[in-house]
Amino acid sequence: MSQIAHVTVLGAGVLGTQIAYQTAYRGFDVTVYDIGDEALTAGRKRLDALVAAYRAEVEGATEASTQAALDRLTMTTDLAQAAGNADLIIEAVPERLDIKRETYEKLAALAPERTIFATNSSTLLPSDIKDFTGRPDRFLALHFANQIWKFNTAEVMGTADTSPAVFDTVVEFAREIGMVPIPVLKERPGYVLNSLLVPFLNAALDLAAGGYAQPQDVDNVWRIATGAPMGPFQIYDVVGLGTAYNILASGDEHSQRLAAWLKEHYIDRGRLGVGAGGGFYDDPQA
């Protein structure tokens, strides 16, 4: 057993709510924190949608078990309350280094000494953050794939300072919440999954932004030629265009040009992905 009982998730966005609900579904007490009531209201809607998804898609899920998971969830805008009794804090705030560093500086003063900190960052190295945590030996990365009830990998990646016992505890915790732990043996931006996925998605975006092909046609050729269930622009819509924009905007000059195109043609028009006004495709949840 991991000896983790109380879990806090920072960020009520798409993946933050998935992490929180999956953890609660597996029997843990979970607190979800975000910076304002509007963010929590959106998070509650995402949790309600997850209840329906679990009942439809998770083997053995019942009305009772999915409601019990909701009952184990608490939502708050009070960071001190969220951190005060946590054994593990999983951070899923926006993919910007300055926001993450500022968040950990606040957490360092609020969380008990025993608390393990884990970042769900998609691309940033934990070593870029560790000096802001106040506990580099109890800090690492724990990265989930989107739709974690179906695509249940959990990549665990520490720094040179991460305690081996902490690493093993988080691997065991991932297993306890129904994930398949993937230990990443040394630091690499993007871990395993995004080292493969991000270049693929960027290549697709380059085709559309460069005027070579329409997004739907890029998706069609990928699905037809490979048998894949989804094309890259369908994946973008699921991941969320805001997440993609944040990653691209912090990249090299070419990545920033792609970010600007994405912002002008989609984000500024309120098209942020599934559950948020549609993205490259109209939103089936609208």
The string of pLDDT tens digits covering residues 92-116 is 998 889 999 999 999 999 999 999 9
* Residue 279 contacts residue 237 (beta carbons within 8 Å): yes
Q: What is residue 2's predicted lDDT score, i.e. its pLDDT?
A: 80
Q: What is the mean pLDDT of residues 126-153?
A: 96
Q: What is residue 286's predicted lDDT score, i.e. its pLDDT?
A: 53
The rounded mean pLDDT for the chain is 95
Digit-coded pLDDT (tens) for 142-186: 999 989 999 999 999 999 999 999 999 999 999 999 999 999 999
At 211, the pLDDT band (50, 70, 90 cuts) reads very high
At 190, the pLDDT band (50, 70, 90 cuts) reads confident
Instruction: Return the percentage of the chain with pLDDT > 70, whole number.
Output: 99
Q: Which residues of 180-219 are buried (b: 16+ CB within 10 A; e: fewer)?
A: ebbebeebeebbebbeebbeebbebbebbbeeeeebeebb
Q: What is residue 92's predicted lDDT score, i.e. its pLDDT?
A: 96
Which element (helix H / strand E) includes 18? Answer: helix 14-25
Digit-coded pLDDT (tens) for 229-275: 999 999 999 888 998 998 899 889 999 999 999 999 999 999 999 87
Give domain limits for the chain.
Answer: 6-184, 193-276
CATH code of the domain occupying 193-276 = 1.10.1040.10
**6-184 and 193-276 have identical folds:** no
Enter the pTM of the model. 0.82
Q: What is residue 243's predicted lDDT score, i.e. its pLDDT?
A: 85
Instruction: Return the percentage of the chain with pLDDT > 90, whole number.
Output: 86
Q: Which CATH number fits domain 6-184: 3.40.50.150, 3.40.140.10, 3.90.550.10, 3.40.50.720?
A: 3.40.50.720
- Interacting residues of 242 by C-beta distance below 8 A, sequence separation 6+: 94, 267, 272, 273, 276
Q: What is the mean pLDDT of residues 27-51?
A: 96
Residue numbers annotated as active site: 122, 143, 155, 194
Question: How large is the angle between the packed helices 37-57 and 14-25, nearest 10 degrees?
Answer: 50
